[in-house]
Amino acid sequence: MTAQIPDTCTWQGKKWSIKSWDGNRSSIPSNDELEINTDVESSANWSGRIDHFLVYKKKLYLLKIEVNCNDKVELIQPKNAMREVVIRYENRWSDIEGTKRVVKEHRFEYLVFHDLFIPYTGDLFLSSHFFDSWEIPTSVMELDDEDEDEDCQEDWRLVFRQGILIDY
């Protein structure tokens, strides 16, 4: 089975991959509740969306959702959210000899929420520091694994009661 693209949670100033949830996931708004439709674009993302959470002042928020939607013009913007479109360009060689250069466009679409508190009760398991290779200079990515921050390799268990962080 293809590895799934993880949801993320920003906690203590770092972005972490969400490993698993053990609690009432029904507190996380569904596509129907948000009145959005998403499309499955690959087997790495069956839901058609990637959730990005934030723990701020010991409260859990849904900060933004990266959405896959084939009909981008028709994407309905939920109440109390704004739409963010990020377009990145990548230089690539289109043939083996490296003689023909092309620019590939990557389009990312997000719904950013202003104050979407999640009243989750249960454990949230975070695993390994998450980074987006687009956000890191190539020279940094070439460093040895030994240079990585040891803090970023730990797993964390965050315990929430009605969306409030009570232990970790």
Q: What is the residue-wise DSSP string for 78-143?
A: PTTEEEEEEEEEEEEE-STTS--EEEEEEEEEEEEESS-B----EEEEEEEE---GGGS-HHHHTS
Q: Is 20 helix (H, G, I), strand (E, B) or coil?
A: strand
pTM of the model: 0.76
Give the Cβ contact number of residue 67 at 10 Å. 22
How far apart are alpha carbons 45 and 50 in whole angstroms?
8
Q: What's the pLDDT score for residue 87?
A: 86
Residue type for 168, please? Y
How far apart are alpha carbons 59 and 70 in whole angstroms?
33
* Residue 147: pLDDT band with limits 50, 70, 90: very low
Residue 137 has pLDDT above 50, yes or no: yes
Greater model confidence, 58 or 150: 58
DSSP state of 45: -
What is the longest distance spanned by two Cα atoms in the chain? Answer: 58
Residues 109-122 have pLDDT tens digits of 889 998 999 999 99
Taking residues 21-28, what's their average pLDDT? 94
Greater model confidence, 154 or 137: 154
Taking residues 44-64, what's their average pLDDT? 90
Greater model confidence, 122 or 89: 122
User: How many residues can be counted in the chain?
Assistant: 168
